[in-house]
């Protein structure tokens, strides 16, 4: 098989949640444990850091990977979903997994895994762990796919666990209350293992405390540590003054990165105590070069000037809240928003947050889960949002650019799949 045929086989053999939604979700670890045993428990060959949370997992994972790379470690990075190419999910020192490895893994192992009928994520997690072992990484940053307790990444014994924050998302699987979601994500805590919590609410903090006590985890709240002194805009990024590491220039913009940075700095203190050789220079280099070192895309990413054009993969109420606040801080003559969502999110809740002074270009991603642009545009009018609908993201972008003045601001978002289609169209 070619690489393209192999990826098509994976999507057809084990449909991805990214593409089809809830029908791809498989609860439980039975398949994961069988796959792990078959491959000889490859994740035991390197140190790991496990990251869960509703928002901020991607930025936190990539920044930590960039810092560890800058410190001289060979670092595996497992994240999801991918935006353009499947290989984005599995990286070593920022380099995507080899196409030949993906092909050989499927051709060699499909006789074993086909009878298991694994989910796409179960299979790709096994692939990632095996690849990291073959590459002899020193450490791997492993991002949870969905939830935590029953997520197939939850077979690792990490040096540290991180839970970035909790907000309402994937409620059909994780529960309709913050406490329910926190309980699922707290399932990654392990005995005698540091568990760093980025943000809490009154409802979630109690859940984390109880779970840490139940399993014997060492609990650290980043909000209590307060490693940040200040954070101010600096070009397209953020300038941080920190208690322990001096001045840091963060490449990643977006107001939400301040919370992520607080979590990351707290984690670095823990990792240093655990024997990771991380100095101030490597921390500064990692923060300043995240995208170059890891390939991160879609986090308040500027893709054009005159008019300034930015995309962001935030896709739920928690993520959109930060984006809306960030938009309020921009200077523009007219705000133009290219917007689309998937049909299993809280669409009404998100639309209620969106700025009413913008001109909208409603669109849809090229996946089955996409909410039709006409349906989205119709629903948006009930929230006072006005605009037209477009069949594709590229058509919406073309229309927005044609309409825009050089002093306008164009934002593209609402779903990571909208951002994926955008980046693919301009790549």
Q: Would you say 88 and 291 are in contact if contact means Cβ atoms under 8 Å apart?
A: no
d(CA 415, CA 83): 11
Residues belonging to the chain: 427
The DSSP symbol for 24 reads G
- Report yes or no on whether pTM surpasses 0.85: yes
Please report the DSSP string for 216-270 in residue order: T-EEEEHHHH--EEEEEEETTEEEEEETTTEEEEES--STTHHHHHHHHHHHHHH
| Closest alpha carbon to 259 in 197, 199, 346 | 199
Q: Which of 53, 22, 254, 290 is nearest to 148 (CA)?
A: 53
Please give the DSSP secondary-structure letter assigned to residue 369.
Answer: T
- 242 and 230 in contact (C-beta within 8 Å)? no
Please report the pLDDT score of residue 169 as a whole number.
52
Residue 287, SS3 per DSSP: helix
With the C-alpha atoms ordered 268, 271, 272, 273, is the resulting torsion angle positive or negative?
A: positive
Cross-sheet strand order for the sheet of 237-242: 228-234, 237-242, 246-250
For residue 398, give both structure tokens: 């073309």
Residues 80, 121 contacting (CB under 8 angstroms) = yes
Distances (CA, A) of 321 to 149, 198, 327, 351: 27, 17, 10, 11
CB under 8 Å to 294, separation ≥6 — which residues? 62, 65, 66, 69, 77, 91, 94
Residues in contact with 308: Cβ distance below 8 Å, sequence separation at least 6, in sequence order: 302, 330, 332, 409, 410
Q: State how far the Cα of 160 lies from the Cα of 173, in Å rounded to an integer.
A: 25
Rounded Cα–Cα distance for residues 310 and 289 (Å): 19
CA distance 254 to 43: 33
Cα–Cα–Cα angle for 125, 130, 131, rounded to 5 degrees: 100
CA distances from 330 to 37, 126, 194, 232, 407 (A): 52, 43, 38, 14, 11
Nearest to 319 by CA among 49, 57, 20, 19: 57
Tokens 């070619």 label which residue? 2
Query: Within 13 Å, how many C-alpha atoms sit on residue 185's CB side?
Result: 39
The pLDDT of residue 22 is: 45
Assess contact for 184 and 174: CB atoms under 8 A: yes
Strand partners for 237: 234
Q: Which residues contact residue 213 at a Cβ distance below 8 angstroms, ignoring those fewer than 6 apart? A: none
Digitized pLDDT (tens) for each residue of the chain, 427 residues in all: 999 999 999 988 765 444 444 444 456 789 999 999 999 999 999 999 999 998 899 999 999 999 999 999 999 999 999 999 999 999 999 999 999 999 999 999 999 999 998 989 999 999 999 999 999 999 999 999 888 888 999 999 999 999 999 875 544 545 458 888 899 999 999 999 999 999 998 889 999 999 999 999 999 999 999 999 999 999 889 999 999 999 999 999 988 899 999 999 999 999 999 999 999 999 999 999 999 999 999 999 999 999 999 999 987 888 899 899 999 999 999 999 999 999 888 899 999 999 999 999 999 999 888 999 999 999 999 999 999 999 999 999 999 999 999 999 999 999 999 999 999 999 7
Domains defined for the chain, CATH in brackets: 3-294 (3.40.1190.10), 301-426 (3.90.190.20)
**Tokens at 333, concatenated:** 């003559």
């Amino acid at each position: 098989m070619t690489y393209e045929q192999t990826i098509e086989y994976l999507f057809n053999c084990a449909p991805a949640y990214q593409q089809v939604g809830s029908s791809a979700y498989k609860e439980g670890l039975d398949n994961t444990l069988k796959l792990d045993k078959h491959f000889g428990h490859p994740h035991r060959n390197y140190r790991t850091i496990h990251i869960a949370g509703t928002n901020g997992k991607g930025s936190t994972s990539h920044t930590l990977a960039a810092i560890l790379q800058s410190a001289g470690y060979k670092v595996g990075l497992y994240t999801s979903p991918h935006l353009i190419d499947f290989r984005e999910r599995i990286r070593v020192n920022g380099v995507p997994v080899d196409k030949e490895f993906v092909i050989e893994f499927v051709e060699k192992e499909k006789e074993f895994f086909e009878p298991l009928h694994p989910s796409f994520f179960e299979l790709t997690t096994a692939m990632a762990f095996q690849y990291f072992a073959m590459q002899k990484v020193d450490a791997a940053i492993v991002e949870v796919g969905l939830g935590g307790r029953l997520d197939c990444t939850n077979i690792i014994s990490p040096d540290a666990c991180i839970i970035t924050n909790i907000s309402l998302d994937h409620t059909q699987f994780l529960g309709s209350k913050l406490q329910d979601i926190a309980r699922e994500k707290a399932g990654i805590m392990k005995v005698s293992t540091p568990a760093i919590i980025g943000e809490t609410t009154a409802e979630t903090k109690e859940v984390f405390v109880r779970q840490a006590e139940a399993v014997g985890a060492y609990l650290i709240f980043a909000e209590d540590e307060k490693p940040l002194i200040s954070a101010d805009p600096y070009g397209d990024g953020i300038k941080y003054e920190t208690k322990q590491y001096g001045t840091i220039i963060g490449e990643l913009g977006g107001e939400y990165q301040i919370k992520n940075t607080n979590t990351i700095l707290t984690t670095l203190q823990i990792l240093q105590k655990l024997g990771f050789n991380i100095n101030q220079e490597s921390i500064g280099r990692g923060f300043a070069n995240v995208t170059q070192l890891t390939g991160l895309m879609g986090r308040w990413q500027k893709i054009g000037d005159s008019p300034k054009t930015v995309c962001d993969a935030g896709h739920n109420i928690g993520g959109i809240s930060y984006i809306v606040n960030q938009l309020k801080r921009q200077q523009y003559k007219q705000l133009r928003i290219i917007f689309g969502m998937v049909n299993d999110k809280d669409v009404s809740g998100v639309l209620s947050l969106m700025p009413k002074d913008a001109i909208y270009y409603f669109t849809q991603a090229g996946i089955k889960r996409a909410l039709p642009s006409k349906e989205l545009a119709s629903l948006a009018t009930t929230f006072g949002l006005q605009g037209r609908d477009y069949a594709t993201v590229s058509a919406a972008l073309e229309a927005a650019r044609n309409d825009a003045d050089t002093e306008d601001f164009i934002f593209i978002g609402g779903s990571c799949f909208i951002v994926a289609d955008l980046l693919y169209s301009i790549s």
